[in-house]
């Protein structure tokens, strides 16, 4: 009999268990997307982290710089506000001091009308203040009694009249002063306008004189230039006439054969002085020209014949090309027809093959259990 209850080797069991544990750990690393590290570019991630930290540091420094600027601006604004408040307090203090020193209520003209101590300062009706009879129980003055009302009213009327006269005089003086100031201003404006007109007239006269002088100078300069041009033109014309006369009467145009004789022999001539030719030389030149003309006509006739031959060959080639193009078109149509028939045949074969696969081969479609057996291990 076979012994099936043999003990398993301990080392082999430990190796199998270690492999199983490593496989489980590998599965936990690979199949868990949150802790998976395999397939990640660690250097790129570190560079991105370093760039992010640098951006955060730069942003933090920028915010700190803005905050420091805001703090400094706030301090400056507070200092300016404190300085403004101190200036306002100092101005108010100076104003109050001036009012206390120079604008006391008792310095006003109408102070006697609303003086709170007017009754205390008023004297009794029939006695004076130093009269010993004016005691507390003398009944010399009663509340509401005004025995000096006519005199006081008359005094007030005279005072109002004086004030009215003074105000009228002040108004008249102010109007007179304003009238004199306006008159002086008008006179000053008229004087300034006259001065400006005189200056403008003087400037216009000066400009007119400058323009006249400049025009005279330009005219004199133009006359001088024209005279110089006329003189140069006459001199040039005299030179040209002299040159023409020298050429006309010179040995070159008169074709003097004596000046063309060379010092190296009577049969040689000087080219830049010799112009005339003998009748034999002229006849030889005419003969050579006639030969050259005949040769030119012969070349033109030969060129014309060659052109006609080339044109004839081009027509033949064009006709042959048209025939060849027609033949190629016919062959292309036949080839396209064969290809269409072949494609139709292949399409029918593919359709029959697809029907065979769908109806006879792929009759057992895979279920979800078939796909679940994949991606279960890391190897």
Res 106: pLDDT: 81
Between 362 and 296, where is the model more confident?
296
Q: Which of the given ranges, 48-62, 121-135, 255-269, has the highest pLDDT on average?
A: 48-62
**Per-residue pLDDT for 92 more than 90?**
yes
Instruction: Look up residue 153 and give its two tokens.
Output: 């009213």
Length of the chain equals 379
Residue 259 has a CB neighbour count (10 Å cut-off) of 15
Between 258 and 159, where is the model more confident?
159
Of the candidate ranges 2-16, 121-135, 142-156, 276-290, the one whose mean pLDDT is the lowest: 121-135
Res 3: pLDDT: 47
What are the DSSP calls for 273-325, one per residue? T-----HHHHHHHHHHHHHHHHHHHHHHHHHHHHHHHHHHHHHHHHHHHHHHH
**Per-residue pLDDT for 122 more than 60?**
yes
Cross-strand partners of 262: 265
pLDDT category, 35, cuts 50, 70, 90? low
**Per-residue pLDDT for 127 more than 50?**
no
The C-alpha atoms of residue 24 and residue 18 are separated, in whole angstroms, by 10
Average pLDDT over residues 311-336: 89
Res 372: pLDDT: 79
Long-range contacts of 327-332 (CB under 8 A, 24+ apart): none
Alpha-helical regions (H) of 126-148: none
Res 64: pLDDT: 92
First to last CA, the chain: 39
Res 60: pLDDT: 92
Of the candidate ranges 26-30, 56-60, 72-76, 214-218, the one whose mean pLDDT is the lowest: 26-30
Res 157: pLDDT: 87
Spell out the domain ranges in the chain: 277-349
pLDDT digits over 18-33, tens only?
A: 998 988 888 777 777 6
Average pLDDT over residues 357-379: 77
The C-alpha atoms of residue 287 and residue 293 are separated, in whole angstroms, by 10
Of the candidate ranges 12-26, 73-87, 272-286, 315-329, the one whose mean pLDDT is the lowest: 272-286
**Per-residue pLDDT for 147 more than 70?**
no
Between 36 and 129, where is the model more confident?
36
Q: How many helices (H) and strands (E) does the chain have?
A: 6, 2
Between 106 and 97, where is the model more confident?
97
- Which residue's structure tokens are 């933090």? 60
Of the candidate ranges 90-104, 110-124, 304-318, the one whose mean pLDDT is the lowest: 110-124
pLDDT digits over 184-205, tens only?
A: 888 888 888 888 888 888 888 8
Cross-strand partners of 269: 261
Looking at residue 377, the DSSP 8-state letter turns out to be S
pLDDT category, 1, cuts 50, 70, 90? very low
């Amino acid at each position: 009999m076979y012994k099936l209850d043999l003990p398993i080797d301990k080392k082999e069991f430990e190796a199998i268990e270690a492999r199983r544990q490593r496989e489980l750990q590998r599965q936990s690393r690979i199949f868990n997307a949150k802790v998976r590290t395999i397939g990640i570019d660690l250097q790129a991630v570190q560079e991105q982290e370093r760039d992010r930290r640098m951006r955060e540091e730069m942003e933090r420094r920028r915010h700190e710089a803005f905050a420091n600027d805001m703090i400094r601006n706030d301090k400056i604004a507070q200092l300016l506000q404190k300085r403004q408040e101190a200036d306002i307090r100092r101005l108010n203090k100076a104003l109050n001091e001036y009012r206390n020193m120079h604008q006391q209520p008792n310095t006003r003209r109408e102070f006697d009308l609303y003086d709170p101590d007017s009754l205390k300062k008023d004297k009794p009706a029939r006695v004076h203040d130093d009269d010993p009879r004016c005691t507390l129980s003398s009944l010399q003055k009663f509340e509401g009694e005004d025995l000096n009302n006519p005199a006081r009213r008359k005094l007030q009327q005279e005072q109002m009249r004086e004030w009215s006269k003074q105000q009228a005089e002040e108004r008249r003086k102010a109007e007179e002063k304003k009238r004199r100031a306006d008159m002086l201003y008008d006179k000053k404006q008229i004087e300034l306008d006259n001065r400006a007109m005189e200056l403008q007239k003087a400037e216009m006269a000066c400009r007119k004189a400058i323009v006249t002088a400049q025009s005279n100078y330009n005219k004199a300069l133009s006359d001088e230039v024209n005279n110089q041009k006329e003189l140069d033109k006459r001199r040039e014309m005299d030179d040209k006439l002299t040159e023409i006369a020298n050429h006309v009467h010179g040995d070159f145009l008169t074709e003097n054969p004596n000046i063309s004789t060379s010092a190296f022999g009577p049969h040689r001539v000087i080219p830049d002085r010799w112009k005339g030719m003998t009748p034999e030389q002229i006849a030889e030149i005419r003969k050579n020209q006639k030969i050259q003309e005949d040769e030119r006509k012969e070349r033109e006739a030969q060129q014309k014949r060659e052109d006609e031959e080339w044109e004839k060959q081009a027509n033949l080639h064009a006709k042959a090309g048209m025939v060849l193009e027609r033949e190629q078109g016919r062959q292309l149509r036949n080839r396209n027809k064969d290809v269409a028939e072949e494609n139709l045949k292949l399409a029918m074969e593919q359709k029959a093959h697809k029907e065979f696969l769908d109806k006879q081969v792929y009759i057992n479609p895979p279920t979800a259990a078939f796909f679940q057996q994949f991606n279960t291990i890391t190897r």
